[in-house]
Structure 1
């Protein structure tokens, strides 16, 4: 009996030690050590740890030049994983810590690109489309000579086309269910669009999704 109690006690101590070791947080590292750790996390495909270690690096090295680099790396890493809200968080952090007249258009371009990459389905994200259109219009007004103008213009055209397609789908729905006034409102929007009366290839949906995506 005593032997079993002692064995259970030893196992408990071992598990507690392992738990403490696993949950041990890094601290008091220099900027280079933090940088290497975050890069290692990303190489291991562990974005959660990379985010945690960024918090440690940011608290210990408020404005270190390596922090500027790691913010862009983390923003891009989250964009690659389609985690666009987290990508925007890091871009906002970059802008607050290191934003200046030389790079502010680049950061705003990346934020627009994050929204553009987040838009994947033609019949969803209407609020995202409209918000992105306004952001692009504002961006082009603020930076008329930016080098990112052609890229942003292409994004705007695709957003405008997506809105046109969505309006066309809604217009067709209202016509089919006999909502004449609503149909006329959306039909007027379509007629005022640059894409009206032009040959457009509609986005195709897989059969298993079209059941739920189409009105």
Structure 2
């Protein structure tokens, strides 16, 4: 997880690792698409996601138009989700969206990207921008897909994000109260005046306000 704090770092490591393997691995090229596909699947099964990413690069560079590409991308996206590597999961969902998704599949891909962003919120203090971005993304999704079958989940996700933002503002305001900075505290409490939730609506879960609504 440490190597994948950001998408750029994660992808950079793919190329670094491609150059640091054994001689046998370095000389692997010009293989059939099925060869790379099987390597991806085997690496996912053995929980070696760095290798799976490497083999995807080989499949993509040698067989861009292979019918195995869409399935390989989805395997990698869901595997990274399972490993809680949400930035890389979003990369693969984007890859699929750009290349293969029709309108119906795009609705699903946009939902999965939103889910990955939501689950990527680990610390409300460190992930303030991600919370705000996820709120805006959820609102756009509901406008774009008003009849989506995922609408109830997106609504639940959005409410939890609003709760997280509300509690964050209140906690920051309380901190300013303790340090005798009432003006600064008022700024953060004012942010909550237009919130769609109120403090009385919020019961913080034991494992954090985000919770696990997708279990």
Q: Which residue, 153, 167, 175 being the options, matches 1:151?
A: 153
Contact 2:73 2:92 in 1 (8 A): yes
Give the Å deviation of 1:63: 2.7
Change (3 A) 1:160 1:72: same
What is the CA–CA distance in structure 2 between the aligned matches of 1:197 and 1:79, rounded to whole Å?
Answer: 32
Q: Which residue, 55, 58, 63 being the options, matches 1:56?
A: 58
Which shifted more, 25-34 or 84-93? 25-34
Give the Å deviation of 1:190: 2.5
Contact 2:39 2:55 in 1 (8 A): yes
Runs of 4+ in 1 over 4 A off after TM superposition: 203-206
The structure that has the greater radius of gyration is 1
Determine if the alignment matches structure 1 residue 77 to structure 2 residue 82. Answer: no
Partner of 1:91: 93
What is the CA–CA distance in structure 2 between the aligned matches of 1:44 and 1:65, rounded to whole Å?
Answer: 24
Superposition TM-score, scaled by structure 1 size: 0.79
Give the Å deviation of 1:171: 1.1
Point out the structure with the larger helix share. Answer: 1
Contact 2:60 2:69 in 1 (8 A): yes
What is the CA–CA distance in structure 2 between the aligned matches of 1:199 and 1:56, rounded to whole Å?
Answer: 51
Give the Å deviation of 1:65: 2.4
How many pairs were matched up? 188
Give the Å deviation of 1:199: 5.0
Which shifted more, 92-101 or 182-191? 182-191
Q: Which residue, 107, 110, 116 being the options, matches 1:108?
A: 110
Give the Å deviation of 1:60: 1.9
User: 5 Å matches for 1:109-148?
Assistant: 109-148=111-150
Superposition TM-score, scaled by structure 2 size: 0.79
Can you give the 5+ residue segments of structure 2 that lack an aligned partner in the other structure? 1-20, 209-215
Contact 1:122 1:203 in 2 (8 A): no
Change (3 A) 1:187 1:42: same
Q: Which residue, 49, 56, 62 being the options, matches 1:47?
A: 49
Give the Å deviation of 1:24: 3.4
Q: Deviations over 1:155-191 (max 9, x none)?
A: 1111111001101101111222222222222222233
Q: Which has the higher contact order (CA 8 A, sep 6+)?
A: 2
Contact 2:124 2:131 in 1 (8 A): no
SS of structure 1 residue aligned to 2:188: helix
Partner of 1:66: 68
